[in-house]
Amino acid sequence: MSSRIILIGPPGAGKGTQAARLSEALGVPAISTGDIFRANVKGETELGTLAKRYMDAGEYVPDEVTNSMVADRLAQDDAAEGFLLDGYPRTSAQVDELDRMLAAEGKEIEHVVELTADTDEVVARLLARAQTEGRSDDSEDVVRHRLDVYEEQTQPLTDIYRERGLLRQVDGLGEVSEITERILDTIR
Ligand code: ADP
């Protein structure tokens, strides 16, 4: 089964949860740009210091920074046979850069899975997560702003991938394990 996969969807749709489960099921690494940024913030690296300003405001980290971080990650051995990208690409410039990175290796994306969930549901999930995980970007105004940025900059990417015949839409509402099955069904 082919497994160069992008997971796309609004904040709170459950991409991270599903990415971990799919990674296990498919035997490819889940690569989350948000997790890599958060690890850098925690480790107080230069990249972390730069990214934190944007993340706390609910803005996207600049494309050049994100693109070079992803290029480094995809060059690692474990990603040679496939990967699941969670949270990348998020802008059309990132789509172009990812295309270039893969083309250089004679590879391409095989599936783009869009996890859908309505705004009320994702806001409720993110505010609940704020209580348990204390992520600094889960306050109500930042959550709303992240959703606006998603709608404006990332939602349009689904059209690009639909035109390429790669888009698979999956309902993100339901039991976690059921959603994993739905995703596996669409890519099998
Ligand atoms: P969510 O999808 O729930 O908002 P993520 O963990 O995927 O959370 O991302 C958290 C933050 O990390 C984003 O709001 C943004 O600031 C930054 N980030 C993650 N991925 C990207 C990306 N591809 N491009 C730019 N910024 C990103």
Which of 50, 61, 63 most suits a substitution to test ligand 1, by most atoms within 8 Å of the C-beta?
61
Considering only residues 55 and 131, tell me which one the structure prediction assigns the higher pLDDT.
55
pLDDT of residue 181: 98
Question: Taking 80 as the threshold, does the pLDDT of residue 32 lie above it?
Answer: yes
- In short, whether 47's Cβ falls inside 6 Å of ligand 1 is no
pLDDT of residue 1: 53
Question: Taking 90 as the threshold, does the pLDDT of residue 184 lie above it?
Answer: yes
Question: What mean pLDDT is predicted for residues 99-104?
Answer: 97
pLDDT of residue 179: 98
60 Cα–ligand 1 center, Å = 6
- In short, whether 88's Cβ falls inside 6 Å of ligand 1 is yes
Residue nearest to atom 12 of ligand 1 (CA): 34
Question: What mean pLDDT is predicted for residues 28-36?
Answer: 98
Cα gap 2→81, rounded to integer Å: 9
Question: Taking 70 as the threshold, does the pLDDT of residue 159 lie above it?
Answer: yes
Q: Which residues are catalytic?
A: 15, 90, 129, 135, 146
Amino acid at 65: V
For domain 3-187, the question of CATH label 3.40.50.300 is answered with yes
Atom number of ligand 1 nearest to Cα 54: 16
- In short, whether 93's Cβ falls inside 6 Å of ligand 1 is no
Full-model pTM: 0.94
106-138: per-residue pLDDT in tens? Answer: 999 999 999 999 999 999 999 999 889 988 898
- In short, whether 55's Cβ falls inside 6 Å of ligand 1 is yes
99 Cα–ligand 1 center, Å = 20
pLDDT of residue 57: 96
Q: What's the chain's average pLDDT? A: 96
pLDDT of residue 2: 56
- What is the pLDDT confidence band of residue 165, given thresholds at 50, 70 and 90? very high
3-state secondary structure the chain: CCCEEEEECCCCCCHHHHHHHHHHHHCCCEEEHHHHHHHHHHCCCHHHHHHHHHHHHCCCCCHHHHHHHHHHHHCCHHHCCCEEEECCCCCHHHHHHHHHHHHCCCCCCCEEEEEECCHHHHHHHHHHHHHHHCCCCCCHHHHHHHHHHHHHHHCCHHHHHHHCCCEEEEECCCCHHHHHHHHHHHHC
Question: Taking 80 as the threshold, does the pLDDT of residue 35 lie above it?
Answer: yes
